[in-house]
């Protein structure tokens, strides 16, 4: 009898710090158990550039909110190619730390960082290159841009929380995080 | 004295005349979620987290007098869903960034979110522009987290006799204000020892210089969930006397 097909998992970090990915690696040797059940598509761990390039993905996991045009593009790409999309961590769930700029004017922030701040080389200007993705006026959580199926809050969610959530999901049951595993901080 | 009872989710709850459904439930060790309720103050009935169904109709358990024979539903999927939605609306209306809040772990809004497994704020974020007032030498006022429970207002008026806080505006523009010409907390006689400095359920009124004296992980709601702290919310003799 054939072993069941491995589920394809893709991950990405948008306006995040990769802390959630580090926390994902904190499931430690359980990664080996997980790899019995899944294989990775696009993630920072593989070198696959486009999600779903090798066929549909079962589970997409995204860390970080949406702060620029490229984030929107990647997020929509994930949504189009993943059966289940998971919002991982505080920034993807409610904007998190990057969203604390939301009450400030974007032009003022860019000016403060690139032209009026002390210690800048003379002639420093706000970067303006077609290669750079445009910054959005506000940082948004993922669910304001695409439909999200599951949320794992936390800054970052602990390895144990991620493990519990994923194993519940892979077992085909509604994921639960009890006291001590669910965290917003 | 305790002759009458009513029923919450099938459990018989004894009560004394004048007690609210909330007071009787807490006295019996039955937890009902709440944010604006405080055992030492008259009920306020504004946060609606304590909503239950009584004989099929929704009501705030903190303001509803207990009556013999009531059939109260509290921990039902329908009521829990409504409470989650209320929490989510509170979360998007303010700026609740737990990772950078010193109240994290001691916050009742957060603890209730954990209790009810609120994984997401669900609605679109408002990201309001609210000021932080650091003018007071001992207390920081961060209005980003205010949920308008009015506990500080009630405490300052009823216990401290100072009337430092009030609400201004209506509907979505309603906000907490400070009773000073300048609007600054530093220009009032507010003190760290005031009752009003002790009652904030979220991270608005924060004593300065002790932010992380107790580390994250060793805080009030870290060891046990909100519902396990039911004893802290049992009514005091004084609070029961205040009810007519």
| pLDDT reading at B237 higher than 90 | no
Q: Check residue A4 and give its pLDDT.
A: 80
Of the candidates A141, A180, A185, which has its C-beta nearest B104's C-beta?
A185
**Closest approach of chain A CAs to the CA of B117, in angstroms?**
7
CA distance B28 to B24: 6
Phi-psi label, residue B210: left if phi above 0, alpha if psi -120 to 50, beta otherwise: alpha
Q: How many domains does chain A have?
A: 1
- Residue B244's pLDDT band, with cuts at 50, 70 and 90, is very low
B95-127 confidence digits (pLDDT tens): 999 999 999 999 999 999 999 999 999 999 999
| pLDDT reading at B80 higher than 90 | yes
Fill in the DSSP letter of residue B156.
I
Token code pair at residue B112: 């209730």
HSE (CB half, 13 Å, CA atoms) of B95?
22
Q: Which residues of A touch B (CB under 8 A)?
A: 87, 90, 93-97, 99-100, 102-103, 138, 140-141, 143-144, 148, 150-153, 155, 176-177, 179-180, 182-185
Beta pairing class for A135-140 and B205-207: unpaired
Token code pair at residue A64: 């970080």
Q: Check residue B236 and give its pLDDT.
A: 76
**Closest approach of chain A CAs to the CA of B93, in angstroms?**
12
Which positions of chain A have pLDDT values less than 50? none
Domain ranges of chain B: 4-81+228-242, 98-226
The CA distances from residue B24 to A96, B53, B199, in Å, are 39, 16, 22
CA distance A111 to A63: 28
B39 and A CB contact within 8 Å: no
CA distance A120 to A74: 32
**Closest approach of chain B CAs to the CA of A27, in angstroms?**
20
Who's near A123: CB < 8 A, 6+ residues apart?
none
Q: Nearest chain B Cα to A103, which residue?
A: B129
Fold of B4-81+228-242: Ubiquitin-like (UB roll) (3.10.20)
Of the candidates A87, A141, A155, which has its C-beta nearest B99's C-beta?
A155
- Asked whether the beta carbons of B88 and B71 are under 8 A apart, the reply is no
Q: Check residue B219 and give its pLDDT.
A: 97
**Backbone φ and ψ of A86, nearest 5°:** -110, 130
Q: Do B125 and A94 touch (CB under 8 A)?
A: yes
**Closest approach of chain A CAs to the CA of B6, in angstroms?**
30
B241 and A CB contact within 8 Å: no
- Asked whether the beta carbons of A87 and A143 are under 8 A apart, the reply is yes
Q: Do A141 and B125 touch (CB under 8 A)?
A: yes
Domain limits at A54?
Answer: 7-100+138-170
Q: Check residue A45 and give its pLDDT.
A: 85
Neighboring chain B residues of A93 at a CB cutoff of 8 Å? 119-121
Report CA Rg, chain B.
18
Q: What is the 3-state secondary structure (H, E, C) of B32-46?
A: CCCCCCCCCCCCCCC
Q: Check residue A2 and give its pLDDT.
A: 72
Average pLDDT, chain B: 95
Q: Which residues share a beta bridge with B72?
A: B8, B54
Of the candidates B97, B222, B224, which has its C-beta nearest A97's C-beta?
B97
CATH of segment(s) B98-226: 3.30.70.20
- Is A47 within the bounds of a domain? yes
Who's near A26: CB < 8 A, 6+ residues apart?
A158, A159, A162
What's the CATH code of the domain at A81?
3.40.50.700
Sign of the dihedral defined by the CA atoms of residues B31, B34, B35, B37, in that order: negative
Q: Is B117 helix (H, G, I), strand (E, B) or coil?
A: coil
């Amino acid at each position: 009898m054939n072993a069941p097909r491995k589920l394809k998992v893709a991950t990405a970090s948008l306006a995040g710090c990769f802390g959630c990915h580090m926390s994902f690696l904190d499931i430690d040797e359980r990664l080996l158990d997980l790899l019995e059940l899944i294989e990775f598509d696009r993630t920072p761990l593989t070198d696959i550039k486009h999600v779903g390039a090798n066929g549909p993905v079962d589970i997409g996991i995204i860390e970080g909110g949406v702060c620029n045009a490229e984030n929107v593009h990647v997020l929509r790409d994930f949504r189009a190619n993943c059966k289940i999309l998971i919002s991982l961590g505080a920034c993807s769930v409610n904007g998190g730390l990057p969203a604390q700029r939301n009450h400030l004017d974007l032009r003022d922030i860019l000016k403060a960082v690139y032209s009026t701040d002390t210690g800048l080389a003379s002639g420093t200007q706000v970067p303006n290159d077609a290669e750079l993705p445009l910054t959005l006026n506000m940082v948004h959580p993922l669910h304001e841009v695409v439909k999200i199926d599951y949320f794992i809050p936390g800054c970052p969610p602990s390895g144990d929380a991620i493990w519990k959530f994923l194993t519940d999901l892979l077992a085909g049951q509604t994921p639960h995080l009890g006291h001590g595993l669910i965290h917003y901080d | 004295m305790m002759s009458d009872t009513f029923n919450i989710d099938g459990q018989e709850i004894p009560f004394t005349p004048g007690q609210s459904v909330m007071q009787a439930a807490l006295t019996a060790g039955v937890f009902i979620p709440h944010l604006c309720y405080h055992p030492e103050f008259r009920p306020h009935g504004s946060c609606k987290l304590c909503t239950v169904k009584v004989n099929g109709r929704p009501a705030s358990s903190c303001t509803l007098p207990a009556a013999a024979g009531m059939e109260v539903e509290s921990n039902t999927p329908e009521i829990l869903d409504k409470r989650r939605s209320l929490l989510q609306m509170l979360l998007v209306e303010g700026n609740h960034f737990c990772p950078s809040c010193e109240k994290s772990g001691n916050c009742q809004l957060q603890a209730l979110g954990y209790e009810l497994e609120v994984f997401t704020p669900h609605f679109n974020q408002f990201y309001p522009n609210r000021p932080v007032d650091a003018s007071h030498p001992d207390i920081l006022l961060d209005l980003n987290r205010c949920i308008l429970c009015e506990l500080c207002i009630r405490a300052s008026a009823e216990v401290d006799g100072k009337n430092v806080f009030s609400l201004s505006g209506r509907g979505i523009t309603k906000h907490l204000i400070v009773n000073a010409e300048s609007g600054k907390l530093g220009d009032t006689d507010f003190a760290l020892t005031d009752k009003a400095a002790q009652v904030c359920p979220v991270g608005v009124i924060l004593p300065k210089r002790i932010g992380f004296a107790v580390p994250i992980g060793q805080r009030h709601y870290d060891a046990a969930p909100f519902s396990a702290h039911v004893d802290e919310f049992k009514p005091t003799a004084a609070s029961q006397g205040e009810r007519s």
